[in-house]
A and B are shown apart, each in its own frame.
Chain A
Amino acid sequence: MLAALLVMTGIALALGAALGYAAFHFKVEGNPLAGQIDAILPQTQCAQCGYPGCKPYAEAVAKGEAEINLCTPGGDDGVRKLAELLGREFKPRGTPVEKLKTVALIDEQTCIGCTLCIQACPVDAIVGSAKQMHTVVSRICTGCELCLPPCPVDCIALVEEPRTPQNWRWKYPATGLKVVA
């Protein structure tokens, strides 16, 4: 009887010590689920979901505070991936996603150098300083449109990226229809 009690107590203590050690030494910083969700999001940082960027939205989804279908640039495809990851029901987003990537373009004739767009850009893709002309580094621009509202002279437009042989894509091969009758 006593031996059995001692053995059980011993096992309990050993396991408790192991768990305590693991909890202390192998602690995962932050929420790993938020990282996985963030990896699916398109990183446009457009804040159209109502959160100030992709990471905050990912954290909100991970905590269960936000719906999974709030991301506009991600489209239905992104919602489907999130639903798969989280085991939740797919909710259609309902917006067209098949569009060319757009980038912001500043009309340099009109720009007055107010720096408001620089402060609005989530990825620091606009360069310039006060009363100097600004310009967009198109390679970095995510096309989030956040620079449009603050511009006092409406000199920013979103333009489609030009098609080049490098970013041109082959079409899905057309499957011939079969004549059955």
Chain B
Amino acid sequence: MISRLFGFRGGIKPDSHKAESSAAPIRPVPLPPRLVVPLIQSSRGSARTIVTIGDKVLKGQCIGEAEGLAGTAIHAPTSGTVTKIGRYPMAHPSGLESLAIVIEPDGEERWIGTEPLEPAAASREELILRVQASGIVGMGGATFPSHLKLGKGAGIETLVINGAECEPWITCDDRLMRERAADVVAGAKILRRLSGARRILIGIEDNKPEAIAAMTAAARESGIGKDANAVDAGDDAIDIVTVPTRYPAGGEKQLIRALTGIELPAGRLAADFGVQCFNVGTAHAVYRALVHGEAMVSRIVTVTGNVERPGNYEVLLGTPVSRLLALCGARPDTNRTLMGGPMMGFTLPSVEAPITKGSNCLIAASPTLFPPAPPEQPCIRCGSCARACPVGLHPFELYWSSRARRFDDAGKYHLFDCIECGCCAYVCPAHIPLIDYFRFAKSEIRARDEERRAADQARTRFASRLARLEREKAEKAARLAARAAETRAGLAAGDAALVAAAVERTRAQAPAAANDKAAPTPEAG
């Protein structure tokens, strides 16, 4: 098969700003005085702490157990002592606090020494359990637990490895592919085995020629690689596919569309169409976890923007953002810090928030780099947003209904298919913060649905309670009626024994009743 590229609709071409941070190799970060590891690190469920204050932990030791099937484990990022378990600000636009484990490093960086698994020898179930136990989640930012994505291991034809990294400023995947291409390819091959896929497509945007070269070499070295235009050699194909630079080519649906031509319908998963997609960072983490027995304790973070030393850093999870900014020399006119890219990221409410598994980029923003948005003007219905939307929505319709709080209408225009890529707001000539309106409408609709669910539950519970009370009353009445009928029937039959028994019972009860009256106790009631 000859690879051919398919287009996806819409998209924009913003200034890439990648050169600032992509030149220098990945650097380590000195151990901070304390690490704050939040228990919520994945989009599906949190972990349950299994350490107590004062415990000595080793690097890679499990400190939070996976809760339920969808949970993923949390590990100590370094060796040291657990000094606190408490609520700390989390890396979330709300600025809410979440439970976190504070570890004071001892500086020795001693690994716990988990036994590595041989991917070729171990069973599939064993490997997937290890993926879950190593706390591996999607590294592209969505932090979806990877073991859930690996599913049944059947029905997947194509494994897409996402190295597009389309968002401006971010270069962590670029550097990862340049420096650790062989590990990424090895991880991709493990993922192929686990998902049951036949071929691997690695999509990389054409503004990363070094990464493409490194990955192509690594794929060839692994013995079976082909470059983009080569004829497929059957089961073992790894294709490195260059995709044109256009935001958001790295969106899951957009990349799958560009590489395979499959357009995913609303509300369906890629797996339903025989495709599964993982980020290059996830492939790398899977390789480290299985082949080296290293749980996910660090990630590569791009620190860029208004800093003296922009670049990519290997950061232990739980390192405070403020420490990274200090390390890179944030300039004094920095007025806010973005986590994630400028398109889909958010302003951190507190720089004390820790780096988590989904934090791919930190941008120090200054009024010169990111000037405040001009005032919002009325929508003139020019339709630019609809042309830019990669999902094919009508952002202006969504905007009117969200703004007027007509949430049913927003739903009719498929608000929940919006991937919040920000293309519409980028092209809007009236400078309307469209994504803010969409996020607002989405959270309102979710809250309303939750209220509706609670109301329905209360309604059925109230109805069944009334029914139960009614039934109990009827049962009691029936019981009394039956006993009365029995007595009457006995009397009618002249059952002398029955009468005698009743008289006997009354006699037996009389002294007891007298006692009760004489000394009433609270318990007697």
* Partner-B contacts on A (CB < 8 A): 38, 41-45, 53-55, 122-125, 140, 142, 163-165, 167-173, 175-176, 178
Contacts and interface: CB of A to CB of B under 8 A. Distances in A.
Given A42-B455, A168-B443, A173-B433, A163 B94 contact: yes
A42 B450 CA distance: 12
Contacts, number: 71
Interface string B313-344: 00000000000000000000000000000000
A170 B458 contact: no
A123 to B, nearest CB: 4
A43 B459 contact: yes
Nearest to B435: A173
Interface string B426-457: 00000001001101101110010011001111
Interface stretch (B164-172, B285-293, B384-392, B460-468): B460-468
A167 B447 contact: yes
B465 A170 contact: no
A163 B440 contact: no
B443 A169 contact: yes
Contact of B462 (A45, A176, A178): A45
Contacts of B433: 173
B493 to A, nearest CB: 40
B376 interface: yes
Interface residues of B, number: 32
Contacts of A125: 461
A173 B436 contact: yes
Contact of A170 (B443, B454, B455, B462): B443
A165 B440 CA distance: 14
B444 A43 contact: no
Contacts of A43: 454-456, 458-459, 462
Contacts of B256: none
A71 to B, nearest CB: 12
Given A53-B462, A54-B462, A140 B457 contact: yes
B267 interface: no
B440 A44 contact: no
Contacts of B466: 53
A146 to B, nearest CB: 11
B96 interface: yes
A164 B447 CA distance: 12
Nearest to B405: A172
Contact of A165 (B40, B447, B456): B40
Contacts of B444: 169
Contacts of A165: 40, 90, 92, 94, 96, 98
B458 A164 contact: no
B375 interface: yes
Interface in B17-61: 40
Contact of B440 (A54, A55, A122, A173): A173
B443 A45 contact: no
Interface string B476-513: 00000000000000000000000000000000000000
A73 B447 CA distance: 16
28 contacts: A42-B455, A43-B458, A43-B462, A53-B462, A54-B459, A55-B459, A55-B463, A122-B462, A122-B465, A123-B462, A124-B464, A140-B458, A140-B461, A142-B454, A163-B96, A165-B90, A165-B94, A165-B96, A165-B98, A167-B447, A168-B94, A168-B96, A168-B443, A169-B440, A170-B93, A173-B440, A176-B375, A176-B376
A20 B30 CA distance: 87
Contacts of A42: 451, 455
Contacts of A169: 440, 443-444, 447
- Closest 7 A-B residue pairs measured CB to CB? A43-B455, A43-B458, A173-B436, A176-B375, A123-B461, A169-B443, A170-B439
Nearest to B97: A163
Contacts of A172: 440
A172 B404 CA distance: 11
A45 B443 CA distance: 26
A171 B98 CA distance: 20
Contacts of B459: 38, 43, 54-55
Nearest to A165: B92
Contact of B458 (A44, A168, A173): A44
A43 B453 CA distance: 10
A123 B458 contact: yes
A173 B437 contact: yes
Nearest to A164: B96
